[in-house]
Amino acid sequence: MVLTERATDPVAGRPRTFLEAYLPLRQDGVLYAVLEMEVPADLLTNVQWRLRDVVLSLLAGGLFLLWIVLYALVRSAARTIEGQQAGLAEANRLLRQRFEDMVTLIIAAVDAKDSYTFGHSLRVAAISRLIGREMNLAKEDLDTLELGALLHDVGKIGVREAVLRKPTRLNALEILEMRRHPAIGMALLDGVRSLPPGVRQIVGHHHERPDGRGYPAGLRGREIPLLARIVAVADCYDALRSERPYRRPVSAEEAWAELRRHAGSQFDEEVVAAVIRAAPLIESSLYLEEPVFASCGVEEEESGEAPNDSRSAGSGRHRK
């Protein structure tokens, strides 16, 4: 190949550079002819630009098609993930529903042993949540508090019905048996790994007292988990406001006075203040009648004698 320049192109009428190519034609080593080709160099340049434009167009088109394919894949993956998330949410809902059904069944089994406390755990759970809201607990803590309150008396499954239903004062042995129900409850929940730790703490420590006279561990003050302190107050509130075979329920005002009287000794002061603030909503939601005075606690049964202060939180016959 050679480049040649002619003075004047007979077609264009101006000097142009040509690319000349010579192709020898041979057969059996004998040269028969030479094929000569001439192509204007500027025409090749135009072809290169056109080829470049074609290549760029093809590249742009390919990238656009690739984007469409990738977008379709992403959308398909997103729909698949959304479907999986919806399925997972539904599975979680069903699992939670079955768990709640099991909790309800357990509560019903406890209530069945003592007809006079029927619905007690549900009311304690409602009161506990209202107290927790009044104390600005986080939602996760509120959920744990409510579940723990629902199960707080689960250990009574291990207490004889004769003790639970006894209409008169418990003797010393019966008091000891009744006092075992927090430990029984904790033992029952030991194998349930899905429960938050706070639930077990509520079940095991809702009979502790700030003055250290509670059970089973004799914890004092802030040694008692907060959620257990809340359930202790809610438990007593419902005991005061509910009917028992040995007494009628107390009025709302008398229940408030009883809790205030024993704040700091039997009950946490902050929790008592919170339940008093929440009391109007508690009363409108759970209680309708205005009864006469009685009290909650187990001191009378524990000692076998009535305490000096007949209006003490431990002077009633309610067995907790």
- In SS3 terms, the chain reads as CEEEEECCCCCCCCCEEEEEEEEEEEECCEEEEEEEEEEEHHHHHHHHHHHHHHHHHHHHHHHHHHHHHHHHHHHHHHHHHHHHHHHHHHHHHHHHHHHHHHHHHHHHHHHHHCHHHCCHHHHHHHHHHHHHHHCCCCHHHHHHHHHHHHCCCHHHHHCCHHHHCCCCCCCHHHHHHHHCHHHHHHHHHCCCCCCCHHHHHHHHHCCCCCCCCCCCCCCCHHHCCHHHHHHHHHHHHHHHHCCECCECCCCHHHHHHHHHHCECCCECHHHHHHHHHHHHHHHHHHCCCCCCCCCCCCHHHHHCCCCCCCCCCCCCCCCC
Residue 279 has pLDDT above 90, yes or no: yes
Percentage above 70 pLDDT, the chain: 68
**170-198 per-position pLDDT tens digit:** 899 999 999 999 999 999 888 787 788 99
Residue 76 has pLDDT above 60, yes or no: yes
Using pLDDT thresholds of 50, 70 and 90, give the confidence band for residue 247. Answer: confident
Residue 166 has pLDDT above 80, yes or no: yes
Residue 318 has pLDDT above 50, yes or no: no
Question: Class of the 114-303 domain?
Answer: mainly alpha
Residue 277 has pLDDT above 80, yes or no: yes
Q: Which one of the listed residues 113, 139, 156, 320 is annotated catalytic? A: 156
Is 156 an active-site residue? Answer: yes
What average pLDDT score do residues 6-34 get?
A: 61
Residue 199 has pLDDT above 80, yes or no: yes
Query: Which range, of 65-79, 139-153, 232-246, averages the lowest pLDDT?
Result: 65-79
Residue 169 has pLDDT above 80, yes or no: yes
Please state the pTM of the whole predicted model: 0.65
Residue 266 has pLDDT above 70, yes or no: yes
Higher pLDDT: 311 or 37? It is: 37
